[in-house]
Each structure stands twice: as C-alpha cells, then as structure tokens.
Chain A
C-alpha cells in the first residue's frame, strides 16, 4: 500500500481525490452509491446567500466525449443549507469543503464568515468562475477582482480556502498569481469551458441559457495544460479538475503538478468513479515503486 496522504496547504487528507462541486449534490443522494468515508474530501454543490431557482430547462446537452451544462447555481441558499444539508454533510465521514458563490465581494465574505461559525467544515472553495450566472465569471477573469475577492474571503475565515479559477481567460497564470496574493491556500484549476451547441432543425441553441460550461473527457487536455502552467507559476498547491474519469487521467494531473484532483462529470456516468480513481492511483504507485503519492506530484519529465 502506497501512502496516499495529501497535504493541501493546512488541510491533511487521506488521499488526493476530491469530488467536484455540482457533481455530487449535497452528498445525501450519493450515500447509497459509495462509501463516503473513502473520499479524500467532499466538495458539495455551490451555496449562495439566497436560494436560487436556477435556469430554465433544457439545462444540459451531451457533446462529443462530454456535456454542456447551464444549471445556473440552483441551490437552497445558506439558511436551508445550514438547516437541511449540513447536518448530514458534517457526519458523512468525509472532510467537507463547502463551495460558495456570490455576486459581490461582500457576499463571499458573508458566506465565509457564516460557514466559519459552523462545526464540521474542513474548508471553503470560492466559486469565482461559474460561467452560467450573471457576474459569475467576472471575478476570475480579472486579476484585480480575483485578488480582491480572495483577500476579503481570507479576512472572513481562518478555514482552508481554495479559489476555483476559470479557464476562460487568455492567461490563467495571471489569475492564479492574483489568487495566491489574495491569500488562497490552494487553487482549483479549473472550471468548465464556455461552449455552445445548436439544434440545426430548429436553429436554436440546445440550452435555454444559450451557452453552457463544457465538461467531461473532451476538456482534459485543456485543463491539464492550465494546471501545468499554474503549477509553474504559484507556490501554493493546485487541485486539478477537468475530464478526469480514470486513475490514469488523475495521474496525468498529478504528474503535471497538481497536488490533488477532483472528479466531476465522471460521477454522472459512474456513481462510483471517484473510488475507482483512488484505487487506480494506489495500484499505479505500487506497480511503479512509489512509496508516496507526493513522489509523482510535479514529476513531469521535459528533457
């Protein structure tokens, strides 16, 4: 058995595999499908200050080796999250990372402060990059806004803080550096890529929101390149996410410089995908003589 223990800033996890926000619900729906205590950590669906109904259907459509989604951050809001969702989440046996989103810097700070008062939260992930809501992309497409929102969140909580970046930028390293300067403990690289699909019969977009975020195996090389660039730029840990289905996918991200990974869309096709990834990483490390997963992180050979 290789050592899978992973340190993400101040957060120590039993393995480097997390769930990606928005693909695992609030975990109560997933509990029948897999042993949640085996997760590196659980990142739950985005929580906003007020409840959000989300976008009109159709919200998703399949594309080549992936899918577009424009859910629109449908969620129950902070109050119902604390009342209805948190009791199960904090006792589910996995370290809990709460993903939060806001329209203003104050929203993010408010959410961070409120969640810091709760027991059983291991960390907060700042969703500054959701492509499907008004203003959602603004923060992570601008270095100044990114640094500002992360800094405000940083002052609002002592919990480990991840900043989830957008790949829909010309130079993600500028945003990565800004998030580090703002005080993030780690970066989540990245979110979905904005895309469009058209129904040629009706000549209408396939999503009611017109555009949506592309996820799944189709985006893996794009996300991997973003992780590799960021890992070469910042000193804080990177959590790689984008199209990971198998352990080999995850290992590509670790080798390219990610300290940990998130499994997202794969869960839709296989509810137990995240466990398959954990088991496969362990097998790879054993077969290749690595004692610890940290030995492969950033081990990409370029000569």
Chain B
C-alpha cells in the first residue's frame, strides 16, 4: 500500500440532478443522481461525498459519504438510512433538485483474486445499510460471469436491503434477521460461519463485507479462522473525503508500518475497501 497514492485524480465535483428519490424501507431512502461522468468511471466500493445543504447555508456544514449502490447508464444510485441531520435533509429532497456531489472517491474493492482461471467464490456479507456497495460489487462480478453468494443481515424483514436487486442479477442470497422475521433467526455472521464450514475442501472463497463495525470485526475473525481472504468497507466520520483532513483514519497492524507514515490510514483515500487482516481491530 502506498499511502501517498491519490485515486482522487479521477474524481469530479458537480451539481447532479436528482432523478428519483424513494423510500425503500422504514427510514431508508434510495436516490438516483444524474452524473454521467461519475457513472462512467466509478468502480464498486467507491463512494460519493454529498453536501446535505444549500450552498448559501452553513448547517449541517460537512458532506456525507455514501457508497455507490449502482451505476446505471448516466445515473448513480445511493441508499442511506436517516441517522442524523444530514441524512434527514437529504431525505427531504425532491426529484429535479440539484445535489452537490463529489466522486467517485476512495479505493474500490480489490477484485484481483478473480484474475485467475478458477476464480474463488465471492461471498458478499452485508449488514443493515452496509449492503449497497456489495450490490455494486455483485453487478461488477456478474458482468465478468462470476456468480457470488450474498449473505444479508438486517434487524427485521422490512429492513432487508438489496434482495430484489440481487435476485434480478441471479445472485443466490441467504438472509438473516435479528428478530427472525425472515431467513435465519440470528446474525449474518452465523450464515458466514456456516457457509465457510460447508465449503468443499477443494473450493476457496473471498469475503467482501460492509456493515456495522462489530459485524465487520466478527466477519474478519471468522474469515481468518477459515484462512479465507476478506476485504471490508469501512466507515468513519469523514470531513473532507479527499485525504487532507486526516480525520477518517483506521489503525493498521504493526507490520503494515513500513515507513514514517505511522499506523493510521485514511479511509477516504487508502480505503474504504481494505484487507481485513491488515487492520488492527479494536473496541468500537
């Protein structure tokens, strides 16, 4: 990893017209933005940074980062849950409004494990509102004739995200809900443990995960126990999104510190997709 590399070279800032906005689950909104230059260059795992206010106002001041859920022609889709003032503001937008967006930003999912004759099985593990970047990845893999298996977790049945999209891509999906209202009654990490356990000895898998920090830490532990490569997409308060504020950092394991650049990496620039075994997982 080169901490000074700058994938933001390809990012642009623009006013994107909001094509559609719809509520896809309680408190969850999906937005489609007309952003041809972003849609054409974005890669699965990258994100956009959206200003949740009008230009002549000052609150809430900072942009909000959202993983790209899909690139469809000239549009990009994002999906978020209303958590605070910024997402509340964005949920009130109407079709036709202009949205100040920067992107695509960040390091995409590393799909180099599939550059082989007998590619491993991609296991997409999504929890809650962490599902959208995995839908983007599923699309990218399907375009290369690779069929992943998706494991999706949610609190309850009407908060399960992406099931329709995955079905339309012919991606097999297993569900888990905290209340057992659909699929496995328990955690998505149970499904991962079970899936890796059932994997034939001659088969190999690569895990791609996005979700709450405790889930990702558990996914990383399960993948490590099964000697399976695992990449996670991380989240952190992210003021600038372009690598200058050093706010959105994650601690890396000691052996990753080869130079004067210390133990922290910027999630916006060196992430958000990172190899789980390089991360120093802590209590969050």
User: Which A residues form the contact surface with B (CB < 8 A)?
Assistant: 22-25, 28-30, 32-33, 45, 51-54, 56-62, 64-67, 69, 71, 74, 76-77, 79-80, 84, 216-217, 245, 265, 267-272
* Cβ A267 vs Cβ B61 within 8 A: no
* Cβ A80 vs Cβ B260 within 8 A: yes
A210 to B246, CA, bound (A): 17
Residues of A contacting B246 in the complex (Cβ-Cβ under 8 angstroms): 22, 25, 45, 54, 59, 71, 74
Within 8 A of A (CB), among B229-251: 236-237, 239-251
* Cβ B62 vs Cβ A25 within 8 A: no
Least distance between B62 CB and chain A CB atoms (Å): 5
Instruction: Please name 13 further chain A to chain B contacts, defined as beta carbons within 8 Å, in addition to the given A57-B251, A59-B248, sorted by A numbering.
Output: A22-B246, A23-B244, A28-B4, A29-B6, A54-B264, A57-B236, A58-B236, A62-B62, A62-B239, A69-B239, A71-B246, A76-B262, A272-B13
Number of B residues near A (Cβ < 8 Å) is 37
Given contacts A25-B243, A67-B61, A76-B260, contact A59 B237 (CB under 8 A): yes
Q: Which residue of chain A has the shortest Cβ distance to B13 in the bound complex?
A: A271
Least distance between A60 CB and chain B CB atoms (Å): 4
User: Which B residues form the contact surface with A (CB < 8 A)?
Assistant: 4, 6, 8-9, 11, 13, 51, 58-63, 86, 102, 236-237, 239-251, 259-264, 269
* Cβ A51 vs Cβ B244 within 8 A: no
Residues of A contacting B9 in the complex (Cβ-Cβ under 8 angstroms): 32
Compute the total of residue contacts between A and B using a CB distance below 8 Å: 119
* Cβ A77 vs Cβ B260 within 8 A: yes
Residues of B contacting A51 in the complex (Cβ-Cβ under 8 angstroms): 260-262
A270 to B240, CA, bound (A): 8
* Cβ B4 vs Cβ A69 within 8 A: no
Q: Which residue of chain B has the shortest Cβ distance to A50 in the bound complex?
A: B260
* Cβ A29 vs Cβ B58 within 8 A: no
* Cβ A61 vs Cβ B244 within 8 A: no
Which 9 residue pairs across A and B have the least CB separation, nearest first? Answer: A25-B244, A53-B262, A80-B260, A60-B247, A268-B240, A217-B58, A29-B243, A268-B239, A51-B260
